[in-house]
Structures are given as C-alpha cells and as structure tokens.
Amino acid sequence: MIQSERVHIYIDGGNFYHLVIKKLSIREPDFLFEQFVDFLAHGRVITGKRYYVGTVREHEGNPKTKEAMSRQTKFFTVLSSKQWNINTSKLRTRLEKIVIDERVKNYSELHKKGIYQIEFERTREKGIDVKLATDLIVGAIDNQYDTAIVVSSDADLVPAIDWIRHRQKKKVEYIGFSILDQIRNEPTRPLQTMISKTDIQRILTESDLKPFIIRANAEFL
C-alpha cells in the first residue's frame, strides 16, 4: 500500500495579515481558512494546522481596541472548533522616530514648517518566529509530517528550514503571495530567500485567493 503524503500547515498570522488580509481590504474572519488549507493540501493528509499571531490587548478608554480584541477572540474560537493549534504572543508597542534629513524627499519643505523629526508608535509581535521555528523542528523530529507547508515570508525561519530539510530529510513547501495593494499601488512580492531554501514554491495571486473570501454582508458567527 502506498502511504499518502502527510502535510503539516504553519501559518504566520501577522505575516499573512500584512501580505494578504490588509492588501485585500478584508478582516481575518472574512477569510475561509479551513477551505484555504484544504486547497494547500491538495488531497494530501493534513496532520496539523497551526496559526501564529500576536494577541490584541484592550486599552482603557479606547473602544477600538476592545472591539478588535472581541473580534480576535471570536476568530480564535472558530479556529479552535476546527482543531487548529493557536500560538500567540503579546503585541508590544514602542515609540520610534524618523529624522527628517536629506534622505527624505522634499525635506527642506518640512524643515521650513519646523518639522525635523516624526515620532510614531509601532506595534510588533515578539517571539512568533521562534515559536514557529521550534514547532517546525519538533514536528520533524516527532515525524508528524512528510512536508511542512509554511505560509510565511519571514527569513528568520531559514535556519530551521535548512535543519529539517538536511538533517531530518523533510520537505518544505513555501507559500508566497503576489498581490497588488490597490490603495498604495504597491505589490506584495514573495521572498526570494524562501524560494531558494525550500523544496516546493507556490506563489498565490489575488485570483487564487478570491474563492476563500466571504463576500460583503456575510456574517461571521
């Protein structure tokens, strides 16, 4: 009997948000993740589905954060009901500065207006790449899969990918995206490092993803 190929699917939620969700102007609950992973598996046996993301925290006096946290909690509940393994980390916010100098276009005009630097808050996930890399390695050692399908364009995963491919003889399939941001007119491009360091590469476009988008006015329950 020929054994069916086993696949384990790893989705970097934060990465997916910036590369797909935001570009398509939708929310995570508007995307049919269950159907998406069936599409990625393409008839192969799915032995695990893992989703990695930073958790939204409510800030006192900010109703938007309360709404976002509630929406994310509902999203996690739906994923959990479909046997997803959800891995989270705290989102950390820090103050960053941009100095306005000759590297900035029309910087002299800004200087005339008394603007010499811009301060802004940036929110980042901490430790998600480490968790994903660790799970890739543990899954390979425990023989949980024949092929790891990695939905992430994070170059920090490359050392773990190299290890499971060369030491554990597992295959890694990279899922990248090529999507045009209609607002900024900027394309999402696949990461060349991931392309060169994986066994299989699939670059998905907006038309590939349309079947997994819940149409306007559809309710997320």
In this predicted structure, the answer to whether residue 199 has a pLDDT above a threshold of 90 is yes
H/E element, 161: helix 158-166
Is 79 a member of any domain? Answer: yes
First-to-final CA distance of the chain: 42
User: Residue 141 belongs to a domain with what CATH number?
Assistant: 3.40.50.1010
Q: CB atoms < 10 A from the CB of 167, how many? A: 11
Of 110-114, 167-171, 210-214, the one with minimum mean pLDDT is 110-114
Mean pLDDT, rounded, for 97-120: 77
Is 110 a member of any domain? Answer: no
What is the pTM for the complete model shown? 0.80
Is 99 a member of any domain? Answer: no
Question: What Cα–Cα distance (Å) separates residue 6 from each residue in 27, 141, 166, 171, 177?
Answer: 30, 14, 18, 11, 23
Is 217 a member of any domain? Answer: no
Of 79-83, 90-94, 213-217, the one with minimum mean pLDDT is 90-94
> pLDDT per residue over 38-84, tens digit each?
999 999 999 999 999 987 665 566 666 677 778 888 999 999 999 99
Domains held by the chain: number:
1
Is 155 a member of any domain? Answer: yes
Is 115 a member of any domain? Answer: no
Is 101 a member of any domain? Answer: no
Which residue segment(s) compose the domain that 15 sits in?
A: 6-90+125-212
Is 167 a member of any domain? Answer: yes
> pLDDT per residue over 113-144, tens digit each?
788 777 655 555 567 889 999 999 999 999 99
The DSSP 8-state label assigned to residue 67 in this structure reads H
Q: Do the beta carbons of residue 24 and residue 164 sit within 8 Å?
A: no
The set of residues, in sequence order, having a beta carbon less than 8 Å from that of 139 and lying 6+ positions away, is 8, 48, 145, 148
Would you state the pLDDT for residue 31? 95
